[in-house]
């Protein structure tokens, strides 16, 4: 059996123009299919879209990764079955339901754990009416219900757009309308699902930009330290946070997903400049970049592990114990992995607007 790192899974579910050999979808797979090397065994057979130089493969082997048998997509035996690794394909309509932001919205409202002042606006008059309903909110974001990683979000201000002249085609293509919160830290929580049961859980801190586009993540196998840090940093009971996230996971588990349940949440500053927790932004029932950084963290179980997509970030630290390039040299998105000893001390050293704290 072949393993295919189908990073185009979201497009497969929701894009009416999807074709697995179309250039725009192939490019997405090429950029990050190498993350499978962290999980692979030499006995695996992996379908690849990208080409890996001998230098890159030697680099991975020196890091201790096992390189599977690599077969270009154009040379596969079409009679052999495929294991879709990123998102298991088993029941299309159920998978669409579990990965839709509209499902996340419904569950958030049912549990009172998100989408507090948001609305699904299917027409331009609905869009205008919702803005008029909340004159106290001036910063907003429009989202595509089926987008991913913050791509295509449209930010606007009613202060600057006093006549609310947002182009109608923008509203028609982005029907989820929400206030733009003063987010300071993004949290990803994964509930690992096997045979219809949750068998593990872990959290990562996501390094997202101001519109939610993923730029990397950090975590540790010392999950207790992360919980202690969050409670200390934000003054919110970690038991409460955990309880709310468990409610969301249990709600999704009722639908018997074949993939993991990954919940996006964030901490933000309210109008009184007080920290609050927003439990449910959206849920992904598939593998995620959070799983990748958690796998990387296993290299140094007591350390803090970071995987970053951008250069120019905080690099000098006396507690750094290892760093290396994870991406192959021929992809656009170059990424670096770093490890730092003493998780709590490293996290506590950060300040607002620092390593991962940020304001919009």
Q: Quick one: pLDDT band at residue 356, thresholds 50, 70, 90?
A: low
Give the pTM.
0.91
d(CA 253, CA 249): 6
Q: Which pLDDT tens digit goes with each residue over 214-243?
A: 889 999 999 999 999 999 999 999 999 999
Q: Out of 204-213, 328-337, 338-347, give the one with best mean pLDDT.
A: 328-337
Element (H, E) at 69: strand 69-72
For helices 238-253 and 101-111, angle between their N-to-C axes, nearest 10 degrees:
120
d(CA 236, CA 215): 26
Tokens of 134: 């909340």
Q: Out of 45-59, 139-153, 173-187, 297-311, give the one with best mean pLDDT.
A: 45-59
Q: Which pLDDT tens digit goes with each residue over 146-175?
A: 766 556 789 999 886 554 578 888 888 889
74-100: average pLDDT: 93
Task: Please tell me the predicted confidence (pLDDT) of residue 166.
Answer: 86
d(CA 341, CA 302): 7
SS3 79: coil
Element (H, E) at 226: helix 223-234
d(CA 287, CA 280): 18
Q: Quick one: pLDDT band at residue 139, thresholds 50, 70, 90?
A: very high
Reply yes or no on whether the pLDDT at 67 is more than 90.
Answer: yes
CA dihedral 198, 203, 209, 213 (to 10 degrees): -20
To the nearest whole number, what is the mean pLDDT of the chain? 90
């Amino acid at each position: 059996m072949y393993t295919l790192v189908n990073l185009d899974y979201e497009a497969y579910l929701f894009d009416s123009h999807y074709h697995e050999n179309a250039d725009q979808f192939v490019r997405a797979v090429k950029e990050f299919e190498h993350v499978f090397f962290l999980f692979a065994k030499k006995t695996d057979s992996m379908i690849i879209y990208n080409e890996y130089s001998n230098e890159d493969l030697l680099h991975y082997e020196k890091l201790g990764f096992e390189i599977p048998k690599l077969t270009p997509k154009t040379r596969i035996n079409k009679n052999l079955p495929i294991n879709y690794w990123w998102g298991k394909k088993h029941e299309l309509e159920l998978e669409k339901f579990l990965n839709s932001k509209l499902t996340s919205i419904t569950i958030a409202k049912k549990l009172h754990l998100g989408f507090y002042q948001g609305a699904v606006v299917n027409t331009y008059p609905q869009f205008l009416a919702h803005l008029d309903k909340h004159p106290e909110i001036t910063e907003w974001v429009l989202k595509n219900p089926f987008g991913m990683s913050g791509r295509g979000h449209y930010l606007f201000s009613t202060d600057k757009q006093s006549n609310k002249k947002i182009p109608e085609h923008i509203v028609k293509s982005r029907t989820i309308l929400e206030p733009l919160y003063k987010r300071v830290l993004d949290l990803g929580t994964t509930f690992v699902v096997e045979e219809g049961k949750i068998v593990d859980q872990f959290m990562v801190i996501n390094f997202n930009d101001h519109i939610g586009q993923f730029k990397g993540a950090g975590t540790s196998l010392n999950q207790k330290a992360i919980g202690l840090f969050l409670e200390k940093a934000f003054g919110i009971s970690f038991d409460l946070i955990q309880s709310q996230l468990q409610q969301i996971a249990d709600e999704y588990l009722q639908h018997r997903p074949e993939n993991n349940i990954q919940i996006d949440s964030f901490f933000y500053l309210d109008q009184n400049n007080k920290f609050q927790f927003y439990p449910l932004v959206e849920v992904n029932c598939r593998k995620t970049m959070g799983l990748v950084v958690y796998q990387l963290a296993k290299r140094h179980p007591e350390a803090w592990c970071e995987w970053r997509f951008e250069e120019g970030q905080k690099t000098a630290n006396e507690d750094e114990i290892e760093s290396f390039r994870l991406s192959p040299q021929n992809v656009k998105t170059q990424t670096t992995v770093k490890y730092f000893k003493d998780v709590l001390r490293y996290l506590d050293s950060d300040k607002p607007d620092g390593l991962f704290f940020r304001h919009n």
